[in-house]
Structure 1
C-alpha cells in the first residue's frame, strides 16, 4: 500500500508530523483521528527513511516482534513501580541489545523531550509500532492506565507471535512437499527420461501414446529450460507486483482462504486475531467504531479486513454487532451465538476473548493434524506419478522383453 505524510494538531494544539501506510487519504485520515490528532494536511509520500525506522541493510539488525514485546514488558514493570516515563526509557536504553531498536527508543526519548506525547513519538516509527499499538498507548495516556496498557500489549504481542509461528508451521510442510515434487519432476524430465529415449530410439518400434507424450514433454524441457527458467522468474516478479497492489492483495488474501487444508488454518488464525484485538481494544476503553477500525488494520488479511470495514459501516448506520457479523459471512453459527449473548449481556469483550481462545485451540489442533491430512494427498500424487512413469517408460521395455522371449 502507498505511504502518505500528514500534518496535524494534537489535543494540546501542537503540530505533529508523521508517515502512515494506507490505501487512500480517507483511510489515513481515519488512522490519524484514531491517534487523537486532527489532520491538517495529507499528501502522498514515501516510506520512512531507513535512518528513522527499520533499516534494511546487511550491517544492521532488524527489529523483531520479540524486541517490541520485551520493551512492553519492561515498560509495564518500570511504570508500575512508579518510575517516570523518561527514566524508564533511559533504563530501556541501557538494557536493549538490538542497536536498531536502541536508535528508535533514543529518537522516541528525544521527541518526548521536545514536548510530544508518547503516542505521537512512537507514531514517528510506523514500521516498528503499528496503528493498533499507537492507539492503545493513546488510550493509556488519556485514562492514566499506561502501565496496564503495556501489560495488555504484552499479551497481544505474545498472541501475535504465536499466530505467526503457527501459520508459518502450517504452510511449511505443504510447501516443502510441493517443492520436493517439483524438483523430482524436473530431474526426471531432464536426466532420467532422456536416457530412456536413446534406448527407445534403437528399438525402432512403435511407442505407446503415453511414452510419446513423456518423451515430447522431456524433449521440450531439455531444449527450452533456459526460456522456462526466465519465464518462471518473470512470472514470480509479476505475481509479487500483483499481490503488493491493493486489488491484487485483496484477491490473493481471498484466494488463500480457499486453499484446501491450509486455507482453514489461515481463516481461523485471522479470526483469532480479530477476536483478540476486539477484546483488548474494548476492555481498554476504545470506542466500538475505533475498535472495528483497528481490528480491520490488524487482521493481516485484506479480504477479512474489508468484511470488518463493512461491519463498521453497518454499526455506524445503527445496526447491531450481531447483524453486521451475520452479514459479513465470515463467522460460524457458534461464534454468532456467542456474539448475540455478549451483546445482550453487555459482556461482548469477555466473550470475544473466549472466541479468540476457541479459534486459537482450533489452530493448534489443525497444525498437529496437518501431517496426517497432507500425507494421503502426497501418497496419491506420488502414486499417479509412478503410474505415469511405469506406463510411459517401463511398458515399452516390458513389451520389448516379451518380444525377445517369443523370438527365442
Structure 2
C-alpha cells in the first residue's frame, strides 16, 4: 500500500491534479462529456488514462459520470464524486470541476516541501482513512482543512447550489464527527441562514463565524467565505515557515 510520504503517492496526486485540470478545461471549452473522457484516455497521465478509458466505457453503457467514478475509489474520493454529482444535477459540471481543481491546486501550492507530510485524505485517493491527527482540526492540518472548506463552500454557493446540498457535499472535507453534524442540519434551519447552525456545530472559530455572518447580512456570503479561506491560507503558509 502507498503511504503518504512516498514519491509514488506524490506522483499520483500530481496525476490527479493534471487529469482534473485538463478535464475542467475540456468541459469548460464546450467539448462534450464522452469526447472529453476519451481525450483524457489518450493523453492523461497514468493511472488516470486507464481510468478515463473505463469511465468512457461506463458512460457509453448509460451510467452517469459520478456513478462511473464511484467504481474507481482508488482514483476518485467521495468529495470528488459528490462535486461531480452536483455538477450533473445542476448543469454546472464545468464549474464544479473547476472548484475541485482549485482545491487540489491549493493543497499542492501550500503543501510543505521541506519534509514529508500527509496529503489531505479527502483529496488523495491513495490514503483512504483520516489519520487521527487530522481529526481535531488544529495546527497546520486543521487550518488546511478549514481553508478548503471555506473556499469550496463559497465557490459552490456562488455557482447557485442550495445551501443544504452545498454543505452536505463540502462536508466531505471534514473529519467524521464534524461531517455528520453538518449533514444533520435540517434544510429548514439552513433556509434561515448558515451562520447560527454552523456555530452550533462548533468547529469554526468566532472570527470566521463573524465573517460568515457579515457575508450573509451583506448578501456577499461567497466572497466572505473566500476571505475566510485566505485567513487559513495565511496560517498554513506561516506554519510552514
* TM-score normalised by length of structure 1: 0.48
1:298 aligns with 2:173: yes
In structure 1, the partner of 2:126 is none
Deviation, 1:303, is: 4.3
State which of 306, 309, 333 in structure 1 corresponds to 2:206.
Answer: 333
TM-score, normalised to structure 2, is 0.77
Q: Deviations over 1:96-122 (max 9, x none)?
A: 231x32221111000011112222212
Alpha carbons 1:289, 1:316 under 8 Å: kept: no
Structure 1 residues 250-265: aligned runs within 5 Å: 253=134, 263-265=138-140
Shift of 1:169: 5.0
* Cα displacement string for residues 194-249 of structure 1 (whole angstroms, at most 9, x for unaligned residues): xxxxxxxxxxxxxxxxxxxxxxxxxxxxxxxxxxxxxxxxxxxxxxxxxx7xxxx7
CA distances 1:241-291 after superposition (whole Å, capped 9, x unpaired):
xxx7xxxx797655x55xxxxx43233222212212211222233321222
Partner residue, 1:354: 227
In 2: Cα distance, 1:279 partner to 1:168 partner? 31
Count of aligned positions: 225
Q: Which has more helix, going by share of residues?
A: 1
- By percentage of residues, which structure has more strand? 1
5+ long unaligned stretches in structure 1 = 1-55, 173-243, 258-262, 369-408
Give 1:366 deviation, angstroms: 2.1
1:73-100 deviation digits (Å, cap 9, x = unpaired): 21233234433322222221221231x3
List aligned pairs for 1:66-85, cutoff 5 A: 66-85=14-33
Bigger RCO (CA 8 Å, 6+ sep): 2
Q: 1:277 aligns with which of 139, 143, 152?
A: 152
Change (3 A) 1:251 1:80: closer
Once the two structures are superposed, the pairs formed by residues 40-59 of structure 1 within 5 Å of their partners are: none
Residues 166 and 109 of structure 1: CA distance in aligned 2, closer, same or farther (over 3 Å): same
**RMSD value over aligned CA atoms?**
3.2
Structure 1 residues 358 and 157: CA distance shift in structure 2, 3 A: same
Unaligned 5+ segments in structure 2 are: 3-7, 119-128
Matched-pair contact (CA < 8 Å) for 1:322–1:340: yes
Is the 8 Å Cα contact of residues 251 and 303 (structure 1) preserved in structure 2? no
Secondary structure of the structure 2 residue equivalent to 1:64: helix
Does the C-alpha gap of structure 1 residues 110 and 265 become closer, same or farther in structure 2, counting only changes over 3 Å? Answer: same
